[in-house]
Amino acid sequence: MVVLPFQKLRLTPRMINSRFLFGFSVLGLAVLLAAALFVGLPIWITAAGLALCAGLIAGWLVRGRSVNPPGDRAGTEQELPPDVITTTDFSSRLLEATLNEMREGLLVIDHEMRVIASNQSARSIFSNVDESMNSRRLTELTRNPAIYDAFLDGVRGTERVGVKVETYGQARRVFDLRVVPLRAADSRGAGGALGVFFDVTRLERLENVRQEFLSNVSHELRTPLTSIIALAETLEAGAIDDPTHNRRFLSIMQKNAARMHHLIDDILELSAIEAGNVKLKPETVILWPLVEDVIGSLSAAATARKIAVHNQVPHNAEVVVDPHRLIQMLTNLTENAIKFNREGGSVSINYCADAFDQIQVEDTGEGIPSHHLDRLFERFYRVDRARSRELGGTGLGLAIVKHLARAHGGEITVESHFGKGTRFTIELPRGSDVRSPAVPTDVATFS
């Protein structure tokens, strides 16, 4: 950041005299008003005094705002000491500081397509520039045809708006470029062009997330809705009187309706968490009985698949957490561990204390291939889509767990060995250092 040396500004004798005149006028005005109120001066004397003081103040204000003629200003600046910043110098530094602190890239070229001015943001756009860009041709800075064509049109007098520019340096960046022509001093032709680069990389990423989200939601809702419509038409066509199939059809319809209900609930829950509308109520919780409640609520599903669920949490283990949200996180993780486990396998819930309180849910399933781990906590991401839908998953459970863990100031991690099993670890801050939920910077929210 450029800091302007305001401390070097000094008062000249002319400035001091002006301030003395102003102070004397204000003091005289105050004395005159007081005398008129308490002593009872004649009206004409009071009016004349007020006019005189008002004239002196107005004269000072006009004098302070007047601009010296070029010859006089030059003479005045020559008389100033060398360490005093003149008005011209100050304006130049202020303009330079303003341009360099802009987030948008600013590039100015002349009629020969040479750079005559730029700011720091513009220089960062061109990865091959290690020195000053001034006097260099635009073709030396970039071979991007979109940039060159936009500035060429600007030199020819045509304004260009909404030009999409992509750069590939250390990372892909997307810019919205606007170029306007600059007229020559004699107004007889283009003197060059000025271009502003607006960085829309994050906006584009969020738009892609939004489109993917809507596409996934539409697909997830279409599948059960199509099944319900088909079965309803079948029943309407006469199958309702078929005692062999009518109840089976109704059972399938109920199952798909419940799946849609769960999906909508998860979408609303995730949106509320991301928007920061979920208020945590952290308290000190004894972990063992809470884990027992989670295991009890899933006992029927575990028994159906012959899965043994073990509570290996120490009886005296305590964590500072919102108990309702912790039950929600453990239920999601344990339910997944039961669903995607081998029949006759086991699930273990453990606790250990390190820099964070760590709660681990480990299964003996088939594991997750390593190339899926980075995207496992994305919304609607599934390792095995067909199996997940068959088991009734919405694809949002792990995303909800991730955002709830982060809302507590913690994190969730996963380790998996293909063919051996998977372990999810919820890390929570120790003590009372639990922060309020916040919207992640890299995620779009939808209501």
More confident position, 236 or 53: 236
User: Between these two residues, 380 and 326, which has the higher pLDDT value?
Assistant: 326
d(CA 71, CA 414): 76
The pTM is what? 0.54
Determine the Cα–Cα distance for residues 427 and 413; give it in Å rounded to an integer: 8
Instruction: Please give the span between the terminal C-alpha atoms of the chain, in angstroms, as a whole number.
Output: 38
Is the pLDDT at 74 greater than 70, yes or no?
no
Please tell me the predicted confidence (pLDDT) of residue 347. Answer: 94
Q: Of 103-107, 145-149, 166-170, 188-192, which gets the smallest average pLDDT?
A: 188-192
Nearest alpha carbon to residue 263 among 311, 204, 221: 221
Judged against a pLDDT cut of 90, whether residue 167 lies above it is answered with no
Looking at residue 246, its pLDDT comes to: 82
In the structure, what pLDDT confidence band is assigned to residue 188 with cuts at 50, 70 and 90?
A: low
What's the average model confidence in pLDDT over 365-388? 76
* Average pLDDT over the chain, rounded to an integer: 76
Q: Mapped to the 3 state alphabet, what secondary structure does the chain carry?
A: CCCCCHHHCCCCHHHHHHHHHHHHHHHHHHHHHHHHHHCCCCHHHHHHHHHHHHHHHHHHHHHHHCCCCHHHHHHHHHHCCCCCCCHHHHHHHHHHHHHHCCCCEEEEEECCCEEEEECHHHHHHCCCCCCCCCCCEHHHHCCCHHHHHHHHHHHCCCCEEEEEEEEECCCEEEEEEEEEEEECCCCCCEEEEEEEEEECHHHHHHHHHHHHHHHHHHHHHHHHHHHHHHHHHHHHCCHHHCCCCHHHHHHHHHHHHHHHHHHHHHHHHHHHHHCCCCCCCCEEEEHHHHHHHHHHHCHHHHHHCCCEEEECCCCCCEEEECHHHHHHHHHHHHHHHHHCCCCCCEEEEEEEECCEEEEEEEECCCCCCHHHHHHCCCCCCCCCHHHHHHCCCCCCHHHHHHHHHHHCCCEEEEEEECCCEEEEEEEEECCCCCCCCCCCCCCCCCC
| Whether residue 403 has pLDDT greater than 60 | yes
pLDDT tens for 232-258 read 888 888 888 888 778 888 888 888 888
Q: Contact 323/293 with Cβ under 8 angstroms? A: no
pLDDT-based confidence at residue 59 (cuts at 50, 70, 90): low
